[in-house]
């Protein structure tokens, strides 16, 4: 049974200047960001602190930028938090694995940089899309996706909270599904400003190529369980972690189920570590009984 869970957000939480106060005031955070610059061979720090936004939002930059700031924030905590279990939403799983000792920080940066490149390359611009569907039963969204495929791909990609599902696939199929969801009574159904159809079968080529790239890196057994997206199972074994990281790229993220699993396994306190507070908002809707806290600034670090 676990009591304290630490969770890390994924793409969509980034913004220019994110965690600049922490990077400025905590030397360990500043050193972590500088370490990222050295590993990647370009000024990621400049992109994080100054933008431009469109460059930061390009997935091959977003991914290492988020891992860098999330690990910097965890290090700034300096052991003030005892985690019994960790999880991350999609990309956030890499931050969780670094903080749980399964991946070296330097390796995670190179892995997510390549992961972003492969995701971007596997589907040409304009071919794929994602859309958010609000206030509709998961099963209804799934049925509409199936009916909207017409030889293409559209599927539920993120089960974010009850009544919030993100769908992903070929642009035309996603647009058909959006129109059908609106017609069937969804409160909102809208295309998202993302650069690819993440967590859909269109990402299978990226997953295959990522498996090959990942084979050149060391994965260790985690020091504490990490709830992995691809299977929603608590894992510590290096080989299982490795396989699930590959599987995750083209599999849906069942976040609702993940938070319910944490609660079912005794978790009382959920701590989100990263920019913004996207997961905290979702977590409150999924399991109201949990104590939620967000660490995303100097103020929140000091309050802790």
Tell me which residues are annotated as active site. 90, 199
Q: State phi, psi for 31 to the nearest 5 degrees.
A: -65, -35
Q: State how far the Cα of 280 lies from the Cα of 292, in Å rounded to an integer.
A: 6
Radius of gyration of the chain (CA): 18
Buried b (16+ CB within 10 A) or exposed e, 279-296: bbebbeebbeebebbbbb
Residue 95, judged by CB atoms within 10 A of its CB (0-12, 13-18, 19+), counts as buried
The token duo for 136 is 């509709």
Q: Give the Cα-Cα-Cα angle 201, 62, 74 (nearest 5 degrees).
A: 110
Q: Where are the alpha helices (DSSP H) in the chain?
A: 20-25, 27-40, 44-50, 53-56, 59-77, 92-99, 105-122, 138-148, 171-183, 204-214, 238-248, 255-264, 278-286, 298-303
Is-contact 254 229, C-beta < 8 A?
yes
Buried b (16+ CB within 10 A) or exposed e, 40-73: beeebbebbbeeeeeebbbbbbbbbbbbbbbbbb
């Amino acid at each position: 049974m676990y009591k304290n869970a630490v969770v890390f957000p994924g793409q969509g939480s980034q913004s220019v200047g994110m965690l600049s106060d922490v990077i400025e005031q905590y030397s360990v955070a500043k050193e972590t960001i500088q370490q990222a610059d050295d590993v990647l061979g370009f000024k990621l720090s400049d992109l994080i602190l100054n933008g431009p936004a469109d460059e930061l939002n390009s997935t091959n930059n977003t991914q290492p930028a988020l891992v860098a700031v999330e690990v910097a924030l965890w290090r700034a905590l300096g052991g003030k938090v005892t985690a019994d279990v960790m999880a991350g939403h999609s990309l956030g799983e890499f931050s969780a694995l670094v903080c749980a000792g399964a991946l070296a920080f330097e390796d995670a940066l190179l892995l997510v940089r390549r992961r972003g490149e492969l995701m971007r390359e596997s589907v040409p611009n304009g071919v794929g899309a994602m859309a958010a569907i609000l206030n509709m039963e998961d099963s209804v969204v799934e049925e509409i996706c199936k009916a909207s495929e017409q030889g293409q791909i559209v599927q539920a990609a993120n089960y974010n909270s009850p009544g919030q599902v993100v769908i992903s696939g070929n642009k035309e199929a996603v647009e058909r599904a959006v129109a059908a969801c609106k017609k069937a009574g969804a409160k909102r159904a809208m295309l998202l400003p993302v650069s690819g159809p993440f967590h859909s079968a269109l990402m299978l080529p990226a997953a295959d190529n990522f498996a090959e790239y990942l084979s050149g890196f060391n994965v260790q057994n985690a020091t504490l369980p990490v709830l992995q997206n691809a299977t929603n199972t608590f894992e510590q074994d290096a080989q299982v972690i490795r396989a699930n990281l590959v599987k995750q790229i083209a599999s849906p993220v069942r976040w609702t189920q993940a938070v319910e699993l944490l609660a079912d396994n005794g978790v009382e306190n959920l701590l989100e570590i990263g920019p913004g507070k996207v997961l905290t908002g979702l977590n409150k809707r999924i399991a109201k009984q949990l104590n939620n806290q967000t660490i995303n600034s100097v103020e929140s670090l000091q309050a802790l």
